[in-house]
Structure 1
Amino acid sequence: MDQDELPLHASSFGAAAAAYAEHRPDYARTAVRWALEPSPGPRVLDLGAGTGKLTATLVDLGADVIAVEPDPAMLGELSRSLPGVRALPGSAEAIPLPDASVDAVLAGNALHWFDMALAGPEIARVLVPGGVLAGLWNLMDDQVEWVAGLARVSGKAAVGPRDTPASWRAETADLHRPKTGAATRFGAPEQADFPHGQRRTADSLVETIATRAGMLVMPEEEQQAALARIRAFLASAPATARGEFTLPMRTGVLRVRRL
């Protein structure tokens, strides 16, 4: 994606906040536990929290969670579904928290939107020494034949460069480092991915794909043509043609420690 397109894509989700909340998957618990494993304490910032998909899992795992999200519509969905969570407007580049106030910063399908030249120092500021920064991504498991076919039919707008396990590893290995040459404040990255899945029907999977940034910014006619191709593929594939099925996924995690 061209750097000039990033702000447009990053800000596209608010218009589809309700659909995002309804159709996007949560994250594999084993992945979230692994992300938090080195954390020195229970205080977790969910940064770029969206509608709270990751926030809910963190709450279930007993973390003391604060959610920060720049989009008012997304933040509204989060507060509606998780009224007990402290939810604040803010961004990765301007985090509304004091210095050394959290033990871990997690970002679900959000780290690639951050401007790390600004966000890196901000995240380091709010983390305690030895704290954890982890990005999590839900990936399509294209080792499964029909999922690989779906990825081909969907095209780049629906299946981006971080959406399958192999491409995710290559695209995210150094995502925590600023691209400006500024000194990093984090240690060596670790990557791992974990089995996950989401119960879907053909219709609800189409709705899920329609919440991808590349689809949301697409001209209406082009978007509808792409979704029609996806519907036709799902109707023709034995695994997805009738009733509910599990979309095979992986949750990938990039984990680093604050120096």
Structure 2
Amino acid sequence: MTIVHKAAQVGFSTEASTYTQGRPDYPSEIRIWFRDALDISPGSTVIDLGAGTGKLTRLLDSMEIDVIAVEPVKAMRIEFAKHLPDAKILEGTAESIPLEAGAAQALICAQAFHWFANETALSEIHRVLKPDGRLGLIWNVRDESVDWVAAITKIITPYEGDTPRFHTGDWRLPFKRGYFSEPELTCFNYIHSGSAKSVILDRFLSVSFIAALPSEEKEVVADQLMTLIQTHPALRGRETIEFPYQTHAYLCRRLD
């Protein structure tokens, strides 16, 4: 049986509703990238792997395609069902996807692939895709050239530990094994607008390794974030904060 990393299992179980409130969505123009890069057309079957609370599924649902969500954490599936009661979501992991071989034209992992970046997972993703299938990897990456964004990173990084993270680049290692082509990057600018509570507090208290902290330590992080919100001139007194991201979209072509 595949073991879900403790930070994901505990953190996402504890803060599933906060995840829904605080996590950014995706730029609308990425639908064109899905269509062109991943060769998704009306009627295609697409797997949303590591679907979480359904942030990406909502976007895919607008494309007249058959979306199958797969998510290992029960609390996330429950939250998903609250917001997308008519969508199909299955319990499963990247190493054991509960679908037949060749089931989908494309498989997309949004904010998730770093959790299961291993050869077994890529082999399983390869299995469930059609011969000409495509794998899409999506991450919303904070723009740390903005000083207050960099300050947030400085607050949370001491708690990271051994948690798998996009920024380490370790997720690229399994692509040397030949199941897929090397990831091809396209970038989109994206702004997550909302209150300080939603785009900063809820967003960063839902980070896996922060959400998994004991309540006392989590409160320390929350206090540091609140201090930043209340004192930084770009944040202080603002009803709406515009949090800058770049959405990184990687195309990986299935190899025979």
TM interval, shorter chain, is 0.7 to 0.9
* Residue 249 (structure 2) pairs with residue 247 (structure 1): no
Which is worse superposed, 26-35 or 104-113?
26-35
Q: Give the alignment's TM-score, normalised by structure 1.
A: 0.86
**For residue 8 of structure 1, what is the amino acid of its counterpart?**
K
SS at 1:152 equivalent:
helix
SS at 2:220 equivalent:
helix
Unaligned runs of 5+ in 2: none
1:60-80 per-residue CA deviation (whole Å, 9 max, x = no partner) reads: 233321101111221121122
Which is worse superposed, 26-35 or 39-48?
26-35
Shift of 1:162: 4.9
**For residue 90 of structure 1, what is the amino acid of its counterpart?**
G
Please list, as runs of the form range in 1=range in 2, the aligned pairs for 1:74-89 lying within 5 A after superposition.
74-89=76-91
Instruction: Tell me how large the CA RMSD over aligned residues is.
Output: 2.4
Partner of 2:7 in structure 1?
Answer: 9
Shift of 1:175: 4.9
Unaligned runs of 5+ in 1: none
Distance in 1 separating the partners of 2:159 and 2:190:
22
Partner of 1:118 in structure 2?
Answer: 120
Distance in 2 separating the partners of 1:161 and 1:232:
28
Distance in 2 separating the partners of 1:236 and 1:230:
10
Partner of 2:18 in structure 1?
Answer: 19
**For residue 248 of structure 1, what is the amino acid of its counterpart?**
P
Please list, as runs of the form range in 1=range in 2, the aligned pairs for 1:1-259 lying within 5 A after superposition.
7-12=5-10, 13-41=12-40, 42-157=44-159, 162=165, 168=167, 171=169, 174-177=172-175, 183-204=177-198, 205-242=200-237, 243-259=239-255
Distance in 2 separating the partners of 1:32 and 1:86:
20
**For residue 102 of structure 2, what is the amino acid of its counterpart?**
A
Aligned residues: 246
Which is worse superposed, 219-228 or 133-142?
219-228
1:190-216 per-residue CA deviation (whole Å, 9 max, x = no partner) reads: 122211121222222212110001102
Shift of 1:156: 4.2
Shift of 1:39: 2.8
Shift of 1:234: 1.2
Distance in 2 separating the partners of 1:238 and 1:21:
28
Shift of 1:22: 2.0
**For residue 254 of structure 2, what is the amino acid of its counterpart?**
R
Residues 86/175 of structure 1: CA separation in 2 closer, same or farther (3 Å cut): farther
1:153-193 per-residue CA deviation (whole Å, 9 max, x = no partner) reads: 343437x8856xxxx4x616715537xxxx33111221222
State the structure with bigger RCO (CA 8 A, min sep 6), 1 or 2.
2
Q: Give the alignment's TM-score, normalised by structure 2.
A: 0.87
**For residue 96 of structure 2, what is the amino acid of its counterpart?**
A
| Identity between Structure 1 and Structure 2 (%) | 33
Shift of 1:239: 1.9
Shift of 1:35: 4.4
SS at 2:15 equivalent:
helix
Shift of 1:6: 7.2
